[in-house]
Amino acid sequence: LAASRPRPREVGVRLGLLPPGPLNAITDVPGVRVGHVSLVEGESVRTGVTALLTHARDPFLEKTPAAAFVLNGFGKMAGLAQVAELGVIETPIALTNTLSVPTAMDALIGWTLDRHPDVMSVNPVVGECNDGYLNDIRGRHVRVEHVLAALEHATGGPVAGGSVGAGVGMSCYGHKGGIGTASRVVADGLTIGALVLANFGRAEELRVGTVDVGRQLAAGARGRQPSPSSLENEPGGRAVQARDAGRRDDPRTGSVIVLIATDAPLDARQLGRVARRGGLGLARTGSPSGHGSGDFILAFSNAEPIPHRPSSTTLTRHVLAEDGPSIDRIFAASVESVEEAVIDALFRAETMVGRDGHVREALPWPIATATRLK
């Protein structure tokens, strides 16, 4: 799936000012592992699971400092209240479709219980987007074993993108969306990486760096400039999605989940600041964050996990000094990584035919790049 289309930099599209890591992926942050299970069955199952492990050891025994920012809370991401209170994640992170969140939670609970015969409480973190345009989402086709398989497959190295894992059925800016990733290296050798599950935005809004691809495509397709009134009528937009969906007229499609990883030594408060920058990265791609979109950003640092059973009453922690220049570089790197991860998802995702013959076209990037994208 989704191997043949190039990533943005492979066709000369460079976004931002900072250099990417070797893989230009969230796995450039040492220890981060990603796994996908893609479910493409028959004519209407177009969904999947993406799992991410924050570091190479046991996530429950070595909890990962984390914080979330909710840009638009029309979504069902699970586990954030405890993350806000304690400042840590204690499970892998699973991404899937909206109605399969409970299944993914159940899987993460079982995965943790299996490894820890004493544990009676665990906080699964699961993000979701709604793939109901292409996928028979009401069928809830994701099963616990799919989530466990995604965890088992999780690995470092290059991250498959586009229509894979949780991204199989997703749409973005009126085109095929899905999984995207990118990274940045800042001074002192610190790395910031982002992974997005991109399922948001109207076609006309899309900006790729400094090119208004959305408007250009609209103009090309229609032989005219888009007018404001077309906001409700764009080809791949929400209103049309809803109309196409026949009796399934729910406007609550859309959403994006952003995961930001770093090996910079940041505490939960600082990671909350990073998470807010994730929203700025999304903004650069053009969307105003629609009402019906669940836009969640979760940032974590695996520099120094927090032990489940501390050996003393006081922990010695290392945290970035905020009055030096590093924090600004990390903020910039976060914005750029998220921006590029969204574009990466769009570039890599292949055209997909799904439920009820619905088609979501891949972004016609050669047309766009042919004009001004380099």
Just list the catalytic residues.
255, 293, 295
Sign for the pseudo-dihedral over CA of 222, 223, 226, 229: negative
Segment contacting a copy of itself by CB under 8 A, of 3-11, 38-46, 165-173, 279-287: 279-287
Cβ proximity of 6 and 347 under 8 Å: yes
* Spatial separation of the C-alpha atoms in residues 232 and 244, rounded to whole Å: 14
* Spatial separation of the C-alpha atoms in residues 112 and 116, rounded to whole Å: 6
Candidate list 8, 178, 180, 226; residue touching a copy of itself; CB under 8 A: 226
Rounded to 5°, angle at Cα 212 from 203 and 342:
65
Q: Does 42 bind a copy of itself (CB under 8 A)?
A: no
Q: Which of residues 44-103 bind a copy of itself (CB under 8 A)?
A: 70-82, 84-87, 98-99, 101-103
- With tokens 């010695």, the residue in question is 316
Q: Residue 72 or 159: which CB sits closer to a copy of itself? A: 72
Task: Kindly report the backbone phi and psi dihedral angles of residue 259, in degrees, each rounded to the nearest multiple of 5, phi listed first.
Answer: -110, 130
Q: Which of residues 135-194 bind a copy of itself (CB under 8 A)?
A: 137-138, 140, 186-188
Task: Tell me how many residues contact a copy of itself (CB under 8 A).
Answer: 115
Segment contacting a copy of itself by CB under 8 A, of 130-138, 149-157, 175-183, 344-352: 130-138
Q: Residue 126 or 362: which CB sits closer to a copy of itself? A: 126
Q: Does 276 bind a copy of itself (CB under 8 A)?
A: yes
**Minimum CB distance to a copy of itself, residue 71 (Å):** 6
Tell me if residue 99 falls in helix, strand or coil. helix
Q: Residue 87 or 178: which CB sits closer to a copy of itself? A: 87
* Spatial separation of the C-alpha atoms in residues 112 and 105, rounded to whole Å: 11
Give the E-state strand segments of 4-92 in sequence order: 33-41, 45-53, 62-73, 88-89
Candidate list 10, 145, 152, 328; residue touching a copy of itself; CB under 8 A: 328
According to DSSP, residue 203 is labeled G
Q: Residue 59 or 156: which CB sits closer to a copy of itself? A: 59
